[in-house]
Amino acid sequence: MDSSVFKDLSQSEFMDFGPALIAQLGKLQGQFIRGDDVLLPLCRVLADSSGAESVMILSRRLLACDEMPADVTCWCRDSMRYITLWRQVKDWPLLDGQRGAHLWQRFVVWPIEGLDVNIFFYRPVKGWLSFLTSYQTFIADSISGMLQQQSLDWQQSRNAQIIKSIDTQMYQSIVSNSEDMIVVASRQKGMAPVIMYANAAATAISQYPRSQLIGKSIELFFGDQDDKAQELLEAIELRLEFTGELVCSTATGEKVILHTHLIALNEQYEDGSLFTLVGRDITEQKLMQNTMARTQKMQAMGQLVGGVAHDFNNILGVLKGNLELMELKGKDDTIARYLATALKACQRGTDLTRRLLQFSRQEQFSAQPLQVNEVLLGLEELLEKSLTTQVSLNILPQASMRDICVDRGDLEDALINLVLNAKDAMHGEGQITIATGEQYLSGYLPGVGNTVSTDNRDYVWISVIDQGRGIADHLLDKIFEPFFTTKDKSKGTGLGLSMVYGFVKRSNGYMSIMHTGAEGTEIRLWFPAIKPVERQSERHHKPLEYPKVARPIRVLIVDDEPDLLEVLCDHCQMMGMEVLAYTDPLLVREQFSGGIDNIDLIISDLLMPGGINGYELVTDLSRHTAIPVLLISGYVGDVGISSREDLPFKVLQKPFDISAFVRGLEEIGIEFVQGELR
């Protein structure tokens, strides 16, 4: 290529067209020299450079044909455009003296000087005609050899004669389905079926150049298959139709799932039978189906786990309540030790159900202040169990860090995702390091190739560092995109990092690649630092005595679980309240339909059978009378409310201890005069 022309293009008004086009034409010339068929790729390059919806290369003598001849080379962004494009192109007027590129209808038409060839650009971008007018001689010199190949390929190849003899309707069908892999093959008796024609989609899907497909056996695609491939070969031998899903082996060793349809043709070639094999790449579709099936399975498991956890919360509530009642009433120190041990076991059960509800996503999440190091230490055992024995985990927390405000469950999911990605990057062997720290950021975000401006402030960061082979430079801009993955199609959906990125953005943070290369990759999450929040210590104090209500209170308690209802009644009675207890919410609504003037407090379970839940019940009862309400539940999703914060009533999380029960009552206005439980 003339370097002066390249320099001229780079500095001209056409720099958006020129440099990229010259580079692509250089690649095509190299492929052409190697003997590859480059006409269709040339169409694609010209379409990409011009922004045209379609590009067609043809000999002018073919414009007299009523139907699109097989000798035409065409590429369309929309496969439906093939159907109408020829009817428009064939009407181009053969004007005497018409030389050079010109505008005609919605086309830019370029008659190549010295060749009987036209190139039609359908709806190119503005400025393309001016570009062609200025540089058509240079570009024509670059592609003239490729265009001359068109005549040789279609006139001298015996495979072209087969295609020309195929019924016009069949050819139109092939063209209109050009995004599918189309292979025409011949089979002579006692011989393996041989590929006579393969369209551009066949080369794209199989990743074999057309020159390596023509003349090869069809078994190149399906040779190492199971019974399904044998069915296909038997159908070819018996001239039967075949439809089914097959796995195609590509030139790079990848596996592509094809929905294939075999059509036996009436034409013969050298005493051999002809057939067409149409294959549609459904790899991503199958992957999405499998992903959806797994998602539905996880949703079903989540619902099951959520239901079990909810019932388990009720059991824990009964157990915990009775143990605390025994602790309050008992005076024996030995029994007190036993009770303390039992209460600790209840707390472990409470933590377990919380994690189960997190898994089922029936526990609502919201951002809250937390310590990153505490989250890491809590996850350490789970992370280690997620790794193989050949992968070690090293956690390096910085001491005395400030808090961040994020959703704890989402942060845990993000860290698990990053660690599993790191394990895959190392092919199951090496060390993964998780480090934390603080840093003041101003200007651009630290990391590889970052142009993101940050807010000027302090940030808490978490780094996950692997010992893998790194990320290729040309992939760095894509790794946070949904569905992008460098893993085998059977090992990932490409959603993990994009979900982590989405969580970080929701948390007003940043995500960056600090370094990547042969020694490994470091991915860092940045979150705005906030002042430490004082946390209540998780100590268990034996209560001195029950607090007593400051005035007479008549409480209505509704819970469909009789044992839990009994515990609530005991608590309230020991606080000096008069109790009305019910297990049926419908009966409560019926008996108090006239009003609740004689009720001072309502305590109700949130989720109850019988056609009405606790939220609907207390809303109905308190419609005309302002009254303190305390709802009790494990989660709120099944009542049509997205989170507890959206409820107009105080919600106490099951299972709870007596101290939490008293604090909940105080928050809704119940006053106490004596006793200490807090």
Of the two residues 306 and 141, the one the predictor is more confident about is: 141
Closest CA to 524 of 615, 439, 457: 439
3-class state of residue 240 by DSSP: coil
Of the two residues 500 and 41, the one the predictor is more confident about is: 41
Question: What is the model's pLDDT at position 493?
Answer: 42
Vertex 349: Cα angle to 345 and 355 (nearest 5): 145
Cα torsion 65, 66, 67, 68 to 10°: value is 40
Q: Work out the number of other CB atoms within 10 angstroms of the CB of residue 44.
A: 16
How many Å apart are CA 558 and CA 588, to the nearest integer? 8
How many Å apart are CA 519 and CA 236, to the nearest integer? 52
Instruction: Give the pTM.
Output: 0.41
Given CATH 3.40.50.1980, say whether it is the number of domain 162-281.
no
Spatial contact of 467 and 404, defined as CB atoms under 8 Å apart: no
Q: Do domains 372-528 and 545-676 have the same CATH topology?
A: no
Share of the chain above pLDDT 90, in %: 17
> Tokens in use for 54?
């379609």
Spatial contact of 483 and 495, defined as CB atoms under 8 Å apart: yes
Instruction: Write out pLDDT tens, residues 539-597.
Output: 444 444 678 999 999 999 999 888 888 889 988 998 999 999 999 999 999 888 888 88
Cα torsion 356, 362, 366, 371 to 10°: value is 0
Spatial contact of 242 and 231, defined as CB atoms under 8 Å apart: yes
- DSSP letters, 268-311, are EETTEEEEEEEEEE-HHHHHHHHHHHHHHHHHHHHHHHHHHHHH
How many Å apart are CA 325 and CA 343, to the nearest integer? 11
Cα 539 to chain centroid, rounded: 42
Vertex 210: Cα angle to 199 and 22 (nearest 5): 95
Residues whose CB falls within 8 Å of the CB of residue 601, separated by 6 or more in sequence, listed in order? 553, 554, 555, 556, 577, 627, 628, 629, 630, 665, 668, 670
Residue 535 has pLDDT above 80, yes or no: no
Closest CA to 43 of 31, 33, 52: 52
Question: What is the model's pLDDT at position 121?
Answer: 94
Spatial contact of 605 and 581, defined as CB atoms under 8 Å apart: no
Section 195-200 average pLDDT: 83
Is the Cα dihedral 175, 176, 178, 183 positive or negative? negative
Strand partners, 601: 555
Confidence of residue 520 (pLDDT cuts 50, 70, 90): confident
CATH class of 3-156: alpha beta
How many Å apart are CA 37 and CA 150, to the nearest integer? 9
Confidence of residue 173 (pLDDT cuts 50, 70, 90): low
How many Å apart are CA 611 and CA 620, to the nearest integer? 14
Q: What's the Cα-to-Cα distance from 311 to each of 68, 360, 559, rounded to whole Å?
A: 70, 14, 13
Of how many residues is the chain composed? 678
How many Å apart are CA 575 and CA 550, to the nearest integer? 10
> Tokens in use for 254?
């990848």
Where are the extended beta strands (E) located within 303-402? 368-370, 391-396
Question: What is the model's pLDDT at position 178?
Answer: 67
Element (H, E) at 595: none
Confidence of residue 528 (pLDDT cuts 50, 70, 90): very high
Burial (CB < 10 A; 0-12, 13-18, 19+), residue 347, is: middle
Section 290-304 average pLDDT: 69
How many Å apart are CA 440 and CA 463, to the nearest integer? 16
Section 493-501 average pLDDT: 63
Spatial contact of 634 and 654, defined as CB atoms under 8 Å apart: yes
How many Å apart are CA 486 and CA 427, to the nearest integer? 13
How many Å apart are CA 418 and CA 430, to the nearest integer? 15
Residue 317 has pLDDT above 50, yes or no: yes
Mean pLDDT of the chain: 78
Burial (CB < 10 A; 0-12, 13-18, 19+), residue 520, is: buried
Q: Work out the number of other CB atoms within 10 angstroms of the CB of residue 267.
A: 15
Section 629-653 average pLDDT: 70
Burial (CB < 10 A; 0-12, 13-18, 19+), residue 489, is: middle
Specify the amino acid at residue 34: R
Four-way CATH pick for 372-528: 3.30.565.10, 2.60.40.10, 3.90.226.10, 3.40.930.10: 3.30.565.10
Burial (CB < 10 A; 0-12, 13-18, 19+), residue 101, is: buried
Residue 268 has pLDDT above 90, yes or no: no
Q: Which single residue is written with the structure tokens 């039967």?
A: 240
Domain boundaries, the chain: 3-156, 162-281, 290-360, 372-528, 545-676
How many Å apart are CA 489 and CA 467, to the nearest integer? 23
Structurally, what CATH architecture does the domain formed by 545-676 represent? 3-Layer(aba) Sandwich (3.40)
Closest CA to 47 of 123, 140, 137: 123
